[in-house]
Amino acid sequence: MRFPHVQRILTSLDRIHSYHCINEEADHIMLVGESGVGKSTLLAMYANKHPPIEHEEFTEVPVLYAALGPSPTPKTLAHTLLKALGDQKWYMGREIELSARLVFLIKQCHVRLVIIDEANHLIDRGGEKTLHTAADWIKRLVDATRVSFVLAGIPRTTRLLDTNDQLRDRFREVIEIERLSIDPKPAALEFCSALRTFKRYLKDLPTIDISSSDVTSLFAFATDGRLRDIRRLLVRAVELAYEQPSPKLTDLILAESFRQVIYPCAPDDRNPFHKTFDKTPLVRIGEPFASDKESK
């Protein structure tokens, strides 16, 4: 689905992916956004669009994508990237040996773009010393490989740049994927456009106009503007609609879908698709979008 903000990010990825100059520094991007806005889906899709190419003497990997697990260290980060490259001995060796092999294989496989997703786990692991170590390791990898990198994660990922001036100098471009919103007006129009795109996928299913301004406002309350939740809500709503004798996507179907996949046991006055909804954000304790320290 080519939403306007998605197209802008894809254009930036294409730009740094197409970079090729041995004697100049590559361009790099940090991509941040709260959980559920579509970062990982977008990046994985981009990597899948540029699959490995088998040559007679080597395997070319145009885009190397890897998502970090919890509590990574430079050594486990090297493990993750080597495994993604297809190295059969990704788990063998000391950190210095793993790093050297990683640099060699990135060059040998003609990697043009390295995407490190869930980079916020580098920050979650420990204190300032750990943070400095991780930032310095990435900086050295960037310098040694001379290919473009994308670091992606939730907003606090930018702390990596705060701890290392040289890394910050390399990742000058920070792109934020914001949640869809109904304020100000241009944002509301983009939200309506996104729902119009989803509506086209409903094909022959009779439906209320989910892209109208009134219903868009309800989706804003129900999903907090997160693409993952919009998709989840609509997928379940379509399933529920087709369970009816006369399939149709209605506000009642959306209300039930909301109760099933967004806010189980939601009171009617806290269900955006119920006529008694009180039209206040779902940010109270125990509600779906209560303040989450993990997303900051």
pLDDT category of residue 138 using cuts at 50, 70 and 90: very high
Q: Specify the pLDDT at position 130.
A: 78
Distances (CA, A) of 232 to 55, 75, 238, 246: 40, 36, 10, 22
Query: 4-177 belongs to which homologous superfamily?
Result: P-loop containing nucleotide triphosphate hydrolases (3.40.50.300)
Pick from 3, 25, 5: which is nearest to 175 by CA? 5
Using the 8-state DSSP alphabet, how is residue 26 labeled? Answer: P
Pick from 145, 84, 153, 80: which is nearest to 112 by CA? 145
Contacts of residue 111, defined as CB under 8 A and 6 or more positions apart, other chains included, come to: 61, 62, 63, 64, 85, 145, 147
Please say whether the beta carbons of 194 and 230 come within 8 A: yes
Rounded Cα distance between 16 and 62, Å, is 12
Mean pLDDT to the nearest integer, 255-267? 97
Mean pLDDT to the nearest integer, 153-168? 93
Q: Is 204 exposed, middle or buried (0-12, 13-18, 19+ CB in 10 A)?
A: exposed
| Tokens 């040559």 sit on residue | 55
**For the whole model, what pTM was predicted?**
0.88
Please say whether the beta carbons of 287 and 259 come within 8 A: no
Rounded Cα distance between 47 and 4, Å, is 20
Residue ranges matching CATH 3.40.50.300 in the chain: 4-177
Does the pLDDT of residue 20 top 90, yes or no? no
Pick from 230, 233, 227: which is nearest to 5 by CA? 227
pLDDT category of residue 177 using cuts at 50, 70 and 90: very high
Q: Specify the pLDDT at position 66.
A: 98
Q: Specify the pLDDT at position 293.
A: 43
Does the pLDDT of residue 18 top 80, yes or no? yes
